[in-house]
Amino acid sequence: MKVPLLDLKKQYHSIKEEILTVAEQIFESQYFILGPRVEALEKDIAGYCSSKHALGVSSGTDALLISLMATDIASQHTVITTPYTFFATAGSIFRTGARPIFVDIDPDTYNMSPEGLENVIDSMTDNELARLKAVIPVHLYGQCADMDPILKIAEEYHLVVIEDAAQAIGAEYRGRRAGSMGDLGCFSFFPSKNLGAFGDGGMVTTDSDELYDKLRILRVHGSHPKYYHQLAGGNFRLDAFQAAVVSVKLKHLDTWTKARQENASKYRKLFADSGIDDVIKLPVEKEDRHIYNQFVICVKDKRDDLRLFLNEAGVGTEIYYPIPMHLQECFLDLNYKKGDFPVAEHAALHTLALPVYPELSDDQLTYVVEKIEAFYKHKG
Ligand SMILES: *Cc1c(COP(=O)(O)O)cnc(C)c1O
């Protein structure tokens, strides 16, 4: 049996007619960049994410970059984030010239540890505190970071809060939606995200009229009015076609999210019955509405052998993320070293993402767990 990590073709075939209809309309109109399709999607995403404004941008990475630019983060600043995330979070901070500062993660959720945040701030000198400008919690794998203590600390130290919600559209924390809790929320429509375009795309959410106006200007090179530049922005525009695809998919998102959550529940039951639950730690659901962009298990040992074994059995898996940010070559100058963030380093060595996409069948889920069971019972 084949169980790929993700199979987007199944999803495409379920919405093919709708997609082809909008594609034809856009091709006939020959109107490709920003415009009414993007505006319609922005309105819908703002509503879906309980934010006053949403601004379509070119990718999740650019959502982070333009958010940092809109809050005037530059080379004299530092920004705190987690070392256990997709590169774009730390990379965007670095690209503004600011220095990323990492804090370790919670071992259950893999999200930024609020205690870690508090400790790093407590250890700062007055000069260091003066440079510190923002914090970027990441809602990893589809579950929100523990935002209340993070927001409290941010308020106390006047930090901008940018939520990296690229993996968490529609996730909730104590009744609040991902992207609606900080000053800015960043989303990605990369095809493998829960709400994916047919290419790159992203969105920034905010309740602030002032930030929204600035983001709009930065999105078009800082041009306002046209050809007059008070700010130096970039080309952060979203395509009409990508917006139209995402609009079609948004109508199905809650159904797909439910299917992901049901798959996660089925995995839990299958693992509980498997008799290997002592060597495998399942994802811990701490916050409400985990949307399961990934279903990530943590195994005691032989993670890489397990991955090879599953691959040979036709089961796709992935390691998110094998090298924490503080150990990446391009960040060597930040002077971090192995051992600085033990929880993130442990996760990098022991976690494995299993297929959890909505269209998986019960037989496929059963097969995945059977193969993991076979590995640890016979080969392990
Ligand atoms: C995917 C992702 C991004 C970047 O989004 P792109 O659209 O690929 O640029 C940023 N942060 C996290 C946590 C992501 O998962």
pLDDT at 347 over 80: yes
Could you give the CA distance from residue 63 to residue 111 in angstroms, rounded to a whole number?
20
Q: What is the pLDDT of residues 170-185, one digit of tens each?
A: 999 999 999 999 999 9
Query: How large a percentage of the chain has pLDDT more than 70?
Result: 99
Structure tokens at 373: 């069971």
To test the pocket of ligand 1, the residue of 6, 61, 144 to mutate (highest count of ligand atoms within 8 Å of its CB) is 61
Q: Average pLDDT, stretch 313-320?
A: 98
**H/E stretch holding 367:** helix 362-374
Q: What is the pLDDT of residue 275?
A: 87
Q: What is the pLDDT of residue 126?
A: 98
Q: Average pLDDT, stretch 116-133?
A: 98
Residue closest to 137 by CA, chosen among 94, 104, 96, 95? 104
Q: What is the pLDDT of residue 193?
A: 98
To test the pocket of ligand 1, the residue of 6, 57, 190 to mutate (highest count of ligand atoms within 8 Å of its CB) is 190
Could you give the CA distance from residue 101 to residue 110 in angstroms, rounded to a whole number?
17
CA dihedral 234, 245, 293, 103 (to 10 degrees): 10
- Whole-structure pTM value: 0.98
Q: How far apart, in Å, are the Cα atoms of 324 and each of 101, 300, 327?
A: 13, 19, 6
**Cβ–ligand 1 contact at 89 (below 6 Å):** yes
Contact in structure between 298 and 154 (CB atoms under 8 Å): no
**Helix and strand element counts for the chain (H, E):** 13, 12
pLDDT at 379 over 70: no
Tell me the three state secondary structure of residue 123: coil
Q: What is the pLDDT of residue 278?
A: 87
Ligand 1 atom nearest the C-alpha of 61 is: 9
Which residue segments constitute the domains of the chain, with CATH numbers given? Answer: 8-250 (3.40.640.10), 253-379 (3.90.1150.10)
Q: Output the average pLDDT for the chain.
A: 97
Query: How large a percentage of the chain has pLDDT more than 90?
Result: 97
pLDDT at 151 over 60: yes
pLDDT at 380 over 50: no
Ligand 1 atom nearest the C-alpha of 167 is: 15
Contact in structure between 185 and 175 (CB atoms under 8 Å): no
Q: Average pLDDT, stretch 277-304?
A: 95
Instruction: Give, using CA atoms, the residue closest to atom 2 of ligand 1.
Output: 166
**Cβ–ligand 1 contact at 59 (below 6 Å):** yes
Q: What is the pLDDT of residues 207-266, one digit of tens each?
A: 999 999 999 999 999 999 999 999 999 999 999 999 999 999 999 999 999 999 999 999
Ligand 1 atom nearest the C-alpha of 88 is: 10
**Cβ–ligand 1 contact at 188 (below 6 Å):** yes
Q: What is the pLDDT of residue 130?
A: 98
